[in-house]
Structures are given as structure tokens and as C-alpha cells.
Amino acid sequence: MTKGKSLIEREAEWTGSSESISYQPTKGIFIGLLSFCAFIIIVAGFFFWYIPSVGLVNIHPALPVIFGAALAATSIAILIGAVGLSFAIVKGRDMFLSYKFRGVLIKFFLPLIMMIGGLLRIQKIKIEQAFIEINNQLVKGMGKKFKPERILILMPHCIQYIDCKIKVTQNVRNCVGCGKCEIGELVGLSDEFTIDLFISTGGTIARRKVYEKRPNVIVAVACERDLTSGIQDAYPLPVLAVVNKRPQGYCIGTGVDVASVRNAIRELLR
Ligand code: SF4
């Protein structure tokens, strides 16, 4: 971001950066990895049953059947989770049990998909983008609406214009809205919808703010990596995530599409 340039000028210059790729989530990557994970788990489950069952029969003839039934039940549960999640991803909004599928996705499949994606050398950011998109879809699919005072907007500090001397992390209302970064517009959004806006200097501060305010839902802006870990940390609290812009790379002079934040808020308000 060039010093002193207006937001409009910077928008026109936005071409992405060498450190980031444009936000183009491909849910197909996630569904493919999800199916692959389910397949691997079921094959591994079979061998996990077959190999010890040879020894188990010597202890008691019924043990291989009992052990096999337990493993089959686990495999079926995993399969139902994977199929249900894929269905939720493909179907889009208003999905039955969206809330439960979000839990299965975050707690079980995401760590596994990250691991298998790493082994298959799939770009981590691509998986994160797909995950964020699916998470947002499932949060919207919950169909819940919230009062403004139960919503928290969380922004990273790197969104502030680098040479701005005003301290907005203590009190965002200190911003005078000079237009050199989006914070002024976001304060306007916060006033318009009477929703708390917090500029965080890091994950620990953000967690403390969430602990103090105890919101029912969060609208968060950050890079894919921070959003992914933030969504995991905040679970079961729902998070609608908006990926930031990074014309200068990560953590410096970042930006946000204010219209996307506005749309996210509108989705949540009753
Ligand atoms: S909009 Fe607010 S935070 Fe951003 S540079 Fe201007 S005064 Fe500073």
C-alpha cells in the first residue's frame, strides 16, 4: 500500500501479492479430500479389525465379531458424517443439522484433511479457503438470527493505515475517519447497526475480548490461516469469516471489502 493514497486509488492498484493468492475458494478440493479421508479410514479400519482378530479368536471365538461390530459402527458413523457434510456443502443453505455438521467438520475432518492435503502436497491456503467458504455456508445454514448486541466484529490491527498515529486498539472510536484505511467506514458500520467493533493486536487479545463480551456470533476479518485457527478456537461459537486483502503481503497494510462485512452482518441480524 502506498503511503498517502486514498482507498479508491489503492483498490485500483490491488493485484494480490506474492505472499497471497486471491480468494477463490474451491469446495471441490475439500469434498475430494473428504471422500479420500473417509475411504482411508474405512480401509484402515478393516485392517485394524482383521489383523488383531486372528489373535482375538484365541482368547474367545466371539471377540472378532464384537470388535468388528464396534469398528463397523464407527466406520458407518464416519461415512454418514462425510456424506452428510458433502451433501451440506453441495446443497448450500438451510441444511438440516448444519450446526452438527460444522462440529464434525471442525473437530474431526479438518485436521485429517489438512494432514492428507499436506501429504498430497495440496496448497494449504486452498484447503483453508475451501474450509472458510464451507464454514460460512454452514453458519448461514443454521438459520439463526441474532440481536445486534450479541454480535461482535473482530478486525486485525494490520488493517490500520501504517502511519496512522491514532490508537484504535484501546478504543476504535478514537479513529477520526480520515479515509486512509477502512477503519473509519467500519466504525460507521458499527454505529449503523449498533454492533461492537474491536480491533485486535493478536489472537490472545481477541480471545480475551470474546471471553469478556461473550457474543453469540462473531464476524471476523483476517487472513485464511488466522481465520481457520480462529474458527477452530471459537467453536462452538459460530464465526462468519471474511478474508482480508493483502496488497503488501501478510500482516502489513491489509484491507477489507467493507461491503462483505456489511453483508455478513445483514445475514446475522434478526
Ligand atoms: S481511518 Fe482512522 S484508523 Fe485509519 S488512518 Fe484514518 S484515523 Fe487512522
Phi, psi of 197, deg, nearest 5: -115, 130
Mean pLDDT rounded to a whole number for the chain: 84
Atom of ligand 1 nearest to the CA of 185: 1
Percent of the chain topping pLDDT 90: 45
Beta-bridge mates of residue 23: none
Would you list the domain boundaries of the chain?
A: 7-20+144-268, 27-141
Distance CA 169, CA 23 (A): 27
Stronger pLDDT, 80 or 161, i.e. the higher one: 161
**CA 241 to centroid of ligand 1, rounded, Å:** 23
pLDDT tens column, 88-102 = 666 665 455 666 778
Which residue's CA is minimally distant from atom 8 of ligand 1?
164
**Structure confidence at residue 208 (pLDDT):** 93
pLDDT of residue 11: 47
> In the CATH scheme, what architecture does the domain 7-20+144-268 have?
3-Layer(aba) Sandwich (3.40)
205 by DSSP, 3-state: which?
helix
**Torsions phi, psi for 240 (to 5 deg):** -95, 120
Q: Which atom number of ligand 1 is nearest to the Cα of residue 161? A: 5
Query: Mean of the pLDDT values across residues 35-61?
Result: 76
For ligand 1, mutation pick of 10, 163, 180 (most atoms within 8 Å of CB): 180
Quick check: helix, strand or coil at residue 199?
strand
Quote the ipTM score.
0.97
How far, in Å, from the CA of 186 to the mean position of ligand 1?
A: 10
Half-sphere exposure of 215 (CA within 13 A, CB side): 30
Report the pLDDT value the prediction gives residue 211, as an integer from 0 to 100. Answer: 93
Quick one: DSSP state of residue 247?
Answer: B
In angstroms, what is the span from residue 205 Cα to ligand 1's centroid?
21
For residue 32, count other CB atoms closer than 10 A to its CB: 17
The confidence band for 152, taking pLDDT boundaries of 50, 70 and 90, is: very high
- Asked if residue 180 has its Cβ within 6 Å of ligand 1, the reply is yes
For ligand 1, atom 4: residue with the closest CA: 181
The three state secondary structure string of 65-96 is: HHHHHHHHHHHHHHHHHHHHHHHHHHHCCCCC
How much distance in Å is there from the Cα of 136 to the middle of ligand 1?
A: 29
Q: Is 56 in the pocket of ligand 1 (CB under 6 A)?
A: no
| Sequential DSSP letters for 12-64 | HH---BTTB------HHHHHHHHHHHHHHHHHHHHHHHHHHHHHHHHH-TTHH
User: Tens digit of pLDDT for each residue in 219-252?
Assistant: 999 999 999 999 999 999 999 999 999 988 888 8
Nearest ligand 1 atom to alpha carbon 176:
7
149: pLDDT strictly greater than 70: yes
CA 33, chain centre distance (Å): 17
Residue 172 per-residue DSSP state: G
Across 15-19, 87-91, 110-114, which has the greatest mean pLDDT?
110-114
Question: β-pairing, 151-156 with 239-243?
Answer: unpaired
